[in-house]
Structure 1
Amino acid sequence: MEKPAIHPYIPIIVGVFSVALSAIFVKMTSADSGVTAFYRMLFSIAIMSPVFFIKYTHEIKKLSKRDWIFTTVAGVFLAFHFILWFESLNYTSVASSTVLVTLQPLFAFAGTYFFFNEKLSKKALIAGAVAISGSVLIGYGDFKVSGSALYGDLLALIACALITAYLLFGQDVRKRLSLVTYTFVVYGVSTITLFFYILFKGESFGPYPASEWMWFLLLALIPNLLGHTLFNWALKWVSTNVISIAILFEPIGAAVLAYFILGEYLSVSQIVGGSIVLAGIALFVADYQKIKIRFLKLKA
């Protein structure tokens, strides 16, 4: 496998800050969740199309039956991740929703172990637990034991499982396919899935005011084309576990943005929790790097 042009952690960091804006943009829209997700993906495909059709269409022929199945499943999972997460934001706060949707390590640790036989050290598992506990603390004050907020929390948790499954399938395919082709196909499948979902639900494709179209476009440009695309790029060189841990930064950024833009209160528990998340991520990355260095020495 060729050496990456830049360290994969750099695009991952940029991607995390990009996706942190997603919840804010969704909160600013008034369209149904499926419609918001559909236009987010459709605009992403439209923007990518010139590059894909000029330089990458020949790669479609290289996709094996396995690649098509994995990419299609990844696209469907991504579509329903957006539907459920966007819907959760209608019932619970930005902080609680992003906390639950970024608890991916719980699913990623299990997924990479069972499907890719990736074993993590005790230190890495402890670091992951620390980061997760900090992430939960961020939204502790907003969690509810009943009512609509609990329903929103449940939707966000399911969305979390779906985005992890999306990354796991992508981890396999991305090692054989270029970033542009993989992303274009996955986003295309996701767009088609969302189109039929809207028809099934009877939601409206429009018309919408200019402000709505602006939020749809921003969702495509920043969280999608900048955020998720950078994650897909990094999957060629790092495990889903690394990205899942890094995404725990998202609740911190989202909670701060929600405070300044939406006026959602930032509690002491959220501030303390953010600090714990940062500590957990630092511990995980440090341990992961040690394992990687030992593995490379053994191969040499």
Structure 2
Amino acid sequence: MLLVTVASLAFAVSGPVARLARPAHPVFVACGRVALAAMILFAIDPRGVVRSARALAPANRLRILLCGALLGVHFALFLAGLDRTSLPAAVTLVSLEPVSVVLCALLVHGVRPTRREQIGVLLATAGAAVMASAAGSGEHQIAGDLLVLAAVALYGLYVAVARSLKDALPPRQAGALIYATAALTIGVALVPLGAHEGIGALPIGSFLAIFALAVIPTLVGHTSVQAAARHLSPAIVALVSPGETLGGLVIGAALLGAIPTWREVAGAAVILAGCTITIVGPAPPPVLDGAKADERPLQS
């Protein structure tokens, strides 16, 4: 639970700090974020990363590549969307990730959502519609909202694939390989999108913000989630998402003056209610005497 709390706080700074990276191109910010995270994790244990990579079965190597590609595009879309819409809208819409996880679990693994999860999905979707209705006022633009929603959809696919890697290698080694793959995936798009232009003229504050994104929400946040997921049910781990949204709204308002409109507040409240209903489902069955902890059925 401590890991879940730490991850929530780490993720909460993601949106506000990404705003501080301006005028850097959001795709460059995404690439720098995961590239730095990969290099730091590799520097901590280079032999362990290489040893884990060599020991992977071919199928798991493909899963690592797919996870990295999905995570890289997720980061690029989210930061691009954040750059084109209001901060309150972006950090609220990203809290739809538990809904995406539930839907992708159904599509990929055939895990049918419970009635409570179905109600939560419908409620959160209604909240997203309310949030989208606020587009056009100030920085809030529908194009940015759609990019964030695309990022949310990819996150669900990322989690669906990552679940199969739970026992393949330790979280730190997995993070190094996945972040490196994500950086390479985003790096391919830097030149075609013109995200590399003007890098030399960026202020030092942009690079400091990218470094902060690499360390706080990426290394601390995502690595904590990966570790927590090995000991807690997915429903509990998914509590990170509403915590991220609430923290991001508070930090954005306090430090950047990003005050949400009344429609954004209403949409955020409905989305958070739906996500909470979705992830706070019935408790998993108790573990029988003599059973191993990893044999406990996982909620979707």
Same fold (TM over 0.5): yes
Aligned residue pairs total 287
Within the candidate set 250, 253, 256, 1:259 is matched to: 253
Bigger Cα displacement from structure 2, 159-168 vs 273-282 = 273-282
Residues 170 and 235, structure 1, Cα contact 8 Å, conserved in 2: no
Measured at CA, do residues 202 and 121 of structure 1 come closer, stay the same or move farther in structure 2, by a change above 3 Å?
Answer: closer
Residues 34 and 83, structure 1, Cα contact 8 Å, conserved in 2: yes
2:216 and 2:129 map into 1 onto residues whose CA distance is: 26
Measured at CA, do residues 39 and 210 of structure 1 come closer, stay the same or move farther in structure 2, by a change above 3 Å?
Answer: same
2:31 and 2:278 map into 1 onto residues whose CA distance is: 35
Does residue 1:160 correspond to 2:146, yes or no?
no
Does residue 1:100 correspond to 2:108, yes or no?
no
Measured at CA, do residues 240 and 24 of structure 1 come closer, stay the same or move farther in structure 2, by a change above 3 Å?
Answer: same
1:264 and 1:297 map into 2 onto residues whose CA distance is: 50
CA RMSD, Structure 1 to Structure 2 (Å): 3.0
Bigger Cα displacement from structure 2, 199-208 vs 86-95 = 199-208
Partner of 1:85: 78
Partner of 1:11: 3
Residues 88 and 97, structure 1, Cα contact 8 Å, conserved in 2: yes
Runs (5+) with no aligned partner, structure 1:
1-8
Partner of 2:295: none
Residues 167 and 240, structure 1, Cα contact 8 Å, conserved in 2: no
- SS of residue paired to 1:15: helix
The one-letter amino acid of 2:184's match is I
Does residue 1:114 correspond to 2:107, yes or no?
yes
1:118 and 1:90 map into 2 onto residues whose CA distance is: 35
Q: Report the alpha carbon displacement of residue 160 of structure 1 after superposing the two structures with TM.
A: 0.7
Bigger Cα displacement from structure 2, 240-249 vs 85-94 = 240-249
Partner of 1:229: 223
Measured at CA, do residues 284 and 154 of structure 1 come closer, stay the same or move farther in structure 2, by a change above 3 Å?
Answer: closer
Residues 43 and 220, structure 1, Cα contact 8 Å, conserved in 2: yes
Partner of 1:211: 205
1:286 and 1:262 map into 2 onto residues whose CA distance is: 32
Does residue 1:66 correspond to 2:59, yes or no?
yes
Matches within 5 A, 1:123-162: 123-127=116-120, 129-130=122-123, 139=131, 142-144=134-136, 149-162=141-154
Within the candidate set 31, 34, 43, 1:41 is matched to: 34
Within the candidate set 164, 170, 183, 2:162 is matched to: 170
Question: Could you tell me the TM-score, scaled by structure 2's length?
Answer: 0.83
Partner of 2:296: none
1:154 and 1:135 map into 2 onto residues whose CA distance is: 11
Q: Could you report, residue by residue, the CA deviation over 1:178-197 in whole angstroms, capped at 9, with x for unpaired residues?
A: 10111111001011112221
Q: Could you report, residue by residue, the CA deviation over 1:59-115 in whole angstroms, capped at 9, with x for unpaired residues?
A: 112211111111111111111111111111222101111222221233211221233
Bigger Cα displacement from structure 2, 240-249 vs 94-103 = 240-249
Bigger Cα displacement from structure 2, 206-215 vs 235-244 = 235-244
1:91 and 1:286 map into 2 onto residues whose CA distance is: 32
Q: Report the alpha carbon displacement of residue 244 of structure 1 after superposing the two structures with TM.
A: 4.2
Runs (5+) with no aligned partner, structure 2:
292-300
Bigger Cα displacement from structure 2, 215-224 vs 166-175 = 166-175
Within the candidate set 169, 180, 184, 1:192 is matched to: 184
Residues 52 and 184, structure 1, Cα contact 8 Å, conserved in 2: no
Residues 112 and 241, structure 1, Cα contact 8 Å, conserved in 2: no
Measured at CA, do residues 120 and 141 of structure 1 come closer, stay the same or move farther in structure 2, by a change above 3 Å?
Answer: closer
Residues 28 and 196, structure 2, Cα contact 8 Å, conserved in 1: yes
Within the candidate set 280, 284, 287, 2:281 is matched to: 287
- SS of residue paired to 1:223: helix
The one-letter amino acid of 1:261's match is L
